[in-house]
Amino acid sequence: MISRANRTPIAEWWWTVDRTMLGLTLVLYAAGLVLSLAASPAVAERIGLPSLHFVLRHAFYAPFAAALVIGLSFLTPRQVRRAALVLLLVSLAMMILVLFVGAEVKGSRRWIYLGGLSLQPSEFMKPAFIVITAWLFAEGSDRPDVPGRLLAVLLLVIVAALLVAEPDLGQTMLTLAVWGALFFLAGVSPILVAGLGGISVAGLAAAYTIFPHVSERINRFLDPSSGDTFQVDTAIQSFERGGWSGTGPGEGVMKRILPDSHTDFVFAVVAEEFGILICMLLMLLFAGLVIRGLMQAFRRKSAFERLAIAGLATQIGMQSFINMGVNLNILPAKGMTLPFISYGGSALLSAAVTMGFLLALSRRSYDQHVTVVPRAAAVGHT
């Protein structure tokens, strides 16, 4: 297909990029498009839009996102860092802006409208935040004169404050979790890690006591009889109706009554129509992507690349786990989209940025590539 002797940028990219992860990503985007045909029309009809409203938008965003993944994967680590820095600054500015001009949806200010497009700045903040935090941690351990860890803590505080202000506790938790993973990987002492773990448990307890809707949801999860568990009950019913092999495409009925069936509860819709086996396959795609990404991190010698790759993979892993866990009622109800699959322009593009950065960073770097050319030496190096 593409000769190894070919030295064009495309060929170079093709031989250095992790083609397994790229393939998994594209398969997930394609699956999301197919599954949106199952999940979206019911929602669109319910809220009085043309039945293909969400499908068409998804069909516009998904290829665009796939292209973005490929485009970003051409970047070098240094370019990724710069792009992330720009993206972080822009999205942080917009997150401040959103607090003042954002439209309030379901009690939160998360959206900003730009020329007919609605954007969720916090979605774009996530990958940029991870890359920059990874860089700060890496610099912090490589160069004692740079107060990397301090800056990383500072950045976390700013981002968390902005997210809580929206409020978007799901994203806050996710951000904290990923930051925690980076902190853990940055090679700090186990005592510090344990201390941070204690602080996060305390933070969780604080959220439980401070935010009434958080405590309500957790109470409901622990004691289903205490309140309205309509969403998760309906989701579980979807799994029961679907069984192993599903009721068949278009045969699902739960999606007609399940709120957010095209975003947060798309997994349950898949279960009903396509069956639990397909759900497991979907889960395996995510697991494969995440573990493959983490294996790439494991191989990296550069601390920045290792941390950034691991952080980005962790983010995809955590987000997919939380979403599927909520659908399966093993976690308290929490609004979280399923990366690559759920409808939502910002979510789809944000996942693309995450994956694009991940692929870019995990490409076999130039110096490695050069040493690989003599075949005998390749074994020794990788």
Give residues in contact with other proteins (CB under 8 A). 141, 143, 145, 181, 184-187, 236, 239-244, 251, 271, 276-277, 279-280, 283, 286-287, 290-291, 294-295, 297-298, 301, 303, 306-307, 310, 314, 317, 321, 324-325, 328, 330
Q: Closest approach of Cβ 333 to other proteins, in Å?
A: 15
Q: CB-wise, 98 or 313, nearer to other proteins? A: 313
For the beta carbon of residue 319, count every other beta carbon within 10 angstroms.
26
Q: CB-wise, 126 or 300, nearer to other proteins? A: 300
Q: Tell me how far apart the terminal alpha carbons of the chain are, to the nearest angstrom.
A: 24
Backbone angles phi, psi at 364, to 5 degrees: -65, 120
Q: Closest approach of Cβ 63 to other proteins, in Å?
A: 28
Q: CB-wise, 83 or 270, nearer to other proteins? A: 270
Q: 117-119 and 103-105: which strand pairing?
A: unpaired
Closest Cα to residue 7, out of 375, 273, 373, 327? 373
Q: Closest approach of Cβ 34 to other proteins, in Å?
A: 20
E strands in the chain: 103-105, 108-114, 117-119
Structure tokens of 175? 């951000």
Q: Closest approach of Cβ 120 to other proteins, in Å?
A: 25
Q: CB-wise, 265 or 286, nearer to other proteins? A: 286
Q: Closest approach of Cβ 185 to other proteins, in Å?
A: 5
Q: CB-wise, 120 or 319, nearer to other proteins? A: 319
Backbone angles phi, psi at 50, to 5 degrees: -55, 145
Structure tokens of 190? 């186990």
Q: CB-wise, 112 or 181, nearer to other proteins? A: 181
Closest Cα to residue 306, out of 138, 117, 166? 138
Q: Closest approach of Cβ 283 to other proteins, in Å?
A: 6
- Which residues, including other chains, have CB under 8 Å from residue 254's CB and lie 6 or more apart? 234, 235, 237, 238, 241, 261, 268, 269, 272
